[in-house]
Structure 1
Amino acid sequence: MSNGFPDLPQPPPIDGGLRPPKASYERFTRQAVLYLPVVRGGELIGHLWAAESNPKAAGFVRRLAARAAGAEAADVWGRRLDDAYDRGVPALDAIRRWVGAPEDPVGGAVPAGAREYRAANLDALHELTNPGAPVSRGPLVQDGLYPDGTPADRSQGWGPLVSVRPPSYAARTAAPVLFYPVTRGGTVLGYVWASLSEQAAAYLRRAAAGRDGEVAGGLWEARLAHAFGEGVPAADAVRRLRGTPEDPLAGGVAADAQEGRAANLDELDRLARA
Structure 2
Amino acid sequence: MKIPASDFPASTNQPVRYYPVALNGRTVGYLWASITDDAAYWQDRGDAGAVAKNVGVPWVLRLREAARQGLTPLEALREWRGAPEDPRAGAIPADAEEQQASSLQALKELTNPYPNTTDQPVRYYPVTLHGRTIGYLWASALDDAASFVAHADAGAATVWSRRLHEAAIKGLTPRQALCAWKGAPEDPNGGAIPDDAEEQSALSLQALTALVEQGGPVPLDRTRRGASTNARPRGNEGTVNR
TM-score, with normalisation over the residues of structure 1?
Answer: 0.40
| Structure with the larger RCO, 1 or 2 (CA within 8 Å, 6+ apart) | 2
TM-score, with normalisation over the residues of structure 2?
Answer: 0.45
